[in-house]
Amino acid sequence: MDHFLYRDGTLHAEDVPLPEIARAVGTPVYVYSAATLTRHYRLFEEALSGLPNGIFYAVKANSNLAVLRLLARLGAGMDTVSAGEIMRALRAGVPGARIVFSGVGKTAEELALALDVGIRQFNVESEPELELLSRIAAARGRRAPVAIRVNPDVDARTHAKIATGKAENKFGIPLSRACEVYARAAALPGIEAVGVDVHIGSQLTDLAPFELAFRRVAELTRRLRAEGHDIRRLDLGGGLGIPYARDNAPPPLPFDYGALIRRTVGDLGCEIDIEPGRLIAGNAGILLARVIRVKQGEGRRFVILDAAMNDLIRPALYDAHHDIVPVAEPAPGAAGEIVDIVGPVCETGDTFARARPMPPLAEGDLVAFRTAGAYGAVMASEYNSRPLVPEVLVHGDQFDVVRARPSIEEMLDRDTIPGWLAESAG
């Protein structure tokens, strides 16, 4: 469920008509619903109720400071994958003790920063990283809390570019070597192994891969405890999928996910930590765009929008589907047409939908890309020298610009011409 609904013939974000935002901010613009973000976070709280747990929002899904602050006030910790994300979490008011640091390529500078701000846990991805972290922590007279990420060699049955739990993927330590690596961790200065970490991928719409991975983690936990390791946390990652197409079968709910966790690892007495991102933010946001023109091609009709692949790259990058709906509610039974929905960027890949049935659209009409709150604005770029898309957060009948659209001049002013090129051309 989300809070983007038609009311009196117009699509609203909570109690705000979307045309009101378009008039005030322009298009394209991302619009987020505080009520939907809150509801989805609460679903995970309910799913894990009765278990010792921590919910660490995956900052990479949507890193806007206002979104992070809202979730932090609800009680969320933050799962980060870079120094920048750690600093974003801190700026949003999240203390270091509620920040987890993941990622396969942490640098020495990033590890030092994370130690200095007192993060809760390092999810260590390799033996060289473990050795480096030991040297940095020992030099500071600190002990780094560590969960070693194991690769369970489980096919997540998701898009190949977001699968992370197979043996061929770059993530984690092979399950077959886990005991050896934990033994090494126990011998290193400055390291305290507190848990086991696993994450097999994103946008999973089937619980079976989770079950296989979690059972392997449970077996490993028992083995590590038998060898004398004090394993007291299980970080199970994120990855639960969301419905991008509303006419498809819905994916499992957080309640089902919580029941699976209880069934597979709930008897171990560990704190259960999860790192949801997409399910919290995805349906909480839309991308609002305007039709520039409609063009009739040879056998194809094109609806050209002012949003482009630099604003929402998921369709170009993953062949991802987003439902696209007119902001003005179509009349019941209104005739539709088959169109390609495209952006203005000079690439054929700048295509959001091919042969999509749509109500008739005309120049100036507003459309909304549903389920665009995750991996939308965070992956945006200035390709074709198009300024970054702004972001708006709605709360009831109010809305605030939480990232402004830079002007073209502001974008250009970030470049510098060296002195030897300073003379005017021509």
**How does DSSP assign 202-250, residue by residue?**
SSB--SHHHHHHHHHHHHHHHHHHHTT----EEE----B---SSTTSPP
* CA angle, 81 then 68 then 146, to 5°: 35
pLDDT of residue 164: 47
* pLDDT confidence of residue 159: 47
Residues 92 and 178 in one domain: yes
- Quick: pLDDT tens for 381-416: 999 999 999 999 999 999 999 999 999 999 999 999
Is residue 336 domain-shared with residue 349, that is, in the same domain? yes
Would residue 422 count as lying in a domain?
no
What is the pLDDT at residue 166?
A: 44
Domain boundary among 281, 314, 338: 281
Bridge partners for 6 per DSSP? 11
| 273-308: pLDDT as tens digits | 999 999 999 999 999 999 999 999 888 999 999 999
Together in a domain, 323 and 376: yes
Model pLDDT for residues 301-332, shown as the tens digit of each residue = 999 999 999 999 999 998 999 999 999 999 88
Longest dimension (CA), the chain: 77
Q: Give the CA distances from residue 296 to residues 303, 338, 348, 354, in Å, rounded to whole numbers and listed in that order.
A: 9, 11, 16, 14
338: closest CA among 321, 317, 354? Answer: 354
Residue numbers in the chain where pLDDT is lower than 50: 156, 158-159, 161-166
Q: Pick from 281, 297, 312: which residue ends a domain?
A: 281
Task: Tell whether 315 and 269 lie within a shared domain.
Answer: no
What are the counts of helices (DSSP H) followed by strands (DSSP E) for the chain? 12, 21
The residues, any chain, with a CB within 8 Å of residue 426's CB and separated by 6 or more, are none
This prediction has a pTM of 0.94
- For the chain, give the mean pLDDT: 93
Q: pLDDT value at position 426?
A: 57
Name the residue among 91, 127, 96, 94 with its Cα closest to residue 113.
Answer: 96
Is 89 within a domain? Answer: yes
Q: Domain end: 237, 266, 281, which one?
A: 281
207-229 in b/e burial notation, b at 16+ Cβ within 10 A?
Answer: bebbebbbebbbebbeebeeeeb
Instruction: Give a yes or no: residue 423 inside a domain.
Output: no
Q: Does residue 100 lie in a domain region?
A: yes
Q: Are residues 151 and 14 in the same domain?
A: no
Q: Which residues are catalytic?
A: 346
Q: Which two tokens stand for residue 45?
A: 């709280």
Quick one: 246 and 349 in the same domain?
no
Task: Identify the pLDDT of residue 119.
Answer: 98
Its domain, for residue 399, covers 4-31+286-412
Residue 192 in domain: yes
* pLDDT at residue 165 in the model: 44
Nearest of 277, 208, 265 to residue 241 by alpha carbon: 277
- Which CATH number covers residue 305? 2.40.37.10
Any domain includes 421: no
Q: Rounded to an integer, what distance in angstroms lies between the CA atom of residue 190 and that of residue 187? A: 9
C-alpha 268/C-alpha 394 separation (Å) is 41
Instruction: Return the CATH number at 264.
Output: 3.20.20.10
- Domain co-membership, 121 together with 256: yes
Is residue 38 located within the same domain as residue 11?
A: no
Asked if 47 and 14 sit in the same domain, the reply is no
Asked whether residue 53 is assigned to any structural domain, the reply reads yes
- Indicate whether 124 and 20 sit together in one domain: no
Q: Classify 319 as helix, strand or coil.
A: coil
Say if residue 150 is in the same domain as residue 169. Answer: yes
What total number of domains does the chain contain?
A: 2
In a domain, 354, yes or no: yes
